[in-house]
Amino acid sequence: MASTKDLSAKFNDLTGVPKILDILPLEIQLDIFKCLDYDQLTTLQQTNSQIFKLIKHFENKLARRNFSVLKIGSDPDAFSYSVPMIRYPITKMVSDFQPNKELKKKWEIALNNQIPMYFYLNEHDRNVYIIAESNTCFYRFDLFKWPTKINHLIFARHCFELLSHCHFDEIIFERIVFNPQLINLIFDDLPIKLNCNISRLLLNNIDYDNQALAVVKNNLVISKMLSFRFIWAAFTTLYEVDKYIFLNFLLNGGANNLPLASIYYIGSAIELHKEVIKFAETSTDCSKMVNSIEFQRLEWSMPKFSSRVKLIRQKEYIKSENQHIFLKYETSNVHNSNLVFYIFIWKEVKSETIHRFRIQKFLRAY
């Protein structure tokens, strides 16, 4: 009898595969699926609805595809790849999902209201698509910018399900982000998560930022870092108001145990570190605060600390031929002395300003 490895090798040529599976016991089918990589599983899943359902049933036990990047692009983007492109249009969809009457009615209302699939920093972006890139190929998912049919939403759900079974080194939202309202509607408020090590956001205006932060909070699982950049031209005027939205995410966002939020920012218009320290020391609930918050490329004044703050380490070093100093402080929350915060500061010795700031949350054992 042929081994499962021999049988799985035959899946490079899918001719007759459904018939082979039909005559095998379920446990043998699972053994074969476990021998397949993600590409083979994805290709096999498109052969018919029965195999689609079977692979979906076992998906948590099967291979998860690793990609280097997930991003949203549009025709003006000059994507240049040295690896083959695999397009994934709606015509390739094999899905067993059909909305029930209640969900279908919600979808029809959304379609009539012309709810977009994406939010944009530039409304002139055309032919928007999702790119999932690896070292050997990249997939292009052509989701509809303005869904007009029930089938468009079924296709979007199918694509998000495929992406949720992958892992990405980076997920990047630079000018375009998914519409979190539509994602919730497509999945009928059931959580759908995309997994990554790092996510990068470019923020610019209140409406767009709210949508981007909602996607991060509700639809991403980030294992290492969330990185923010700002469009500087808008920062000094916009963030006098918008900073509270941004701070609310960092301090109260409950960002799924996000390990680190790193913010790249140039200037001194708004010194957010003072508000972060105040919150850490005085808030009655820090449970939803991002574990570690870092601001880089700064021109901020040295904070004036409360009496709770203690200097526990300092070290001088040379950078770009200038003398710098690293400072580490410790403080605690007034309502819970076991909730400790470490404050890290980097600055030039002779400078009145700091160029890097980090605060890290730590719960001390009782």
User: Mean pLDDT, consecutive 10-residue segments, the chain of 366 residues?
Assistant: 44 53 73 69 72 72 76 66 68 77 96 92 72 82 90 92 89 91 93 91 82 91 89 53 72 76 72 89 93 90 93 94 95 96 96 93 86
Compute the distance between CA of residue 299 and CA of residue 67 in angstroms, rounded to an integer.
Answer: 36
Judge if 76 and 117 occupy the same domain. Answer: yes
200 inside domain = no
For residue 89, tell me if it sits in a domain.
yes
Longest dimension (CA), the chain: 78
Q: Which of 285, 299, 284, 305 is nearest to 359 (CA)?
A: 305
- Token pair, residue 355, equals 């160029």
- Domain membership of residue 365 (yes or no) is no
pLDDT of residue 207: 82
Asked if 88 and 157 sit in the same domain, the reply is yes
Amino acid letter, residue 123: E
Same domain, 68 and 110: yes
pLDDT of the residue at 38: 62
Structural domains of the chain, count? 2
Same-domain check for residues 49 and 71:
no
CB neighbour burial string for 308-324, b if at least 16 within 10 angstroms, e if fewer: bbeeeeeeeeeeeeeeb
Residue 232 lies in a domain: no
Q: Do 72 and 176 share a domain, yes or no?
A: yes
Assess if residue 27 is contained within a domain. Answer: yes
Domain residue limits at 158:
64-181
Q: Is the dihedral of CA 295, 70, 256, 160 positive or negative?
A: positive
Kindly give the pairing relationship between strand 310-319 and strand 292-301.
unpaired
Q: What is the dihedral sign for C-alpha 174, 180, 182, 187?
A: positive
Considering the domain architecture, whether residues 172 and 92 belong to the same structural domain is answered as yes
H/E run at residue 85: strand 85-88
With 0-12 / 13-18 / 19 or more C-beta atoms within 10 angstroms meaning exposed / middle / buried, residue 187 is middle
Predicted pLDDT of residue 1:
43
Same domain, 115 and 32: no
| Among 38, 61, 84, residue at a domain's last position | 61
Q: Which amino acid is at 119?
A: F
Cβ 286 vs Cβ 255: under 8 Å: no
How far is Cα 22 from Cα 278, in angstroms, rounded to an integer? Answer: 65
Is the domain of 14 the same as that of 77?
no
Same domain for 75 and 172, yes or no, is yes
Tell me, yes or no, whether 74 and 150 share the same domain.
Answer: yes
- What's the rounded Cα separation, in Å, for the pair 228 and 221? 16
Give the residue from 23, 40, 61 where a domain finishes: 61
Report the pLDDT value the prediction gives residue 283, as an integer from 0 to 100: 95
Claim to verify: residue 101 and residue 176 sit in the same structural domain: yes
Q: Residue 103: inside a domain, yes or no?
A: yes
- Residue 79 has a pLDDT of 54
Which helix H or strand E contains 159, and what residues bound it? Answer: helix 150-164
Tokens linked to 235: 């920062």
Question: Is 52 inside any structural domain?
Answer: yes
In a domain, 47, yes or no: yes
- Listed residues 128, 163, 181: the one ending a domain: 181
Do 49 and 141 lie in a common domain? no
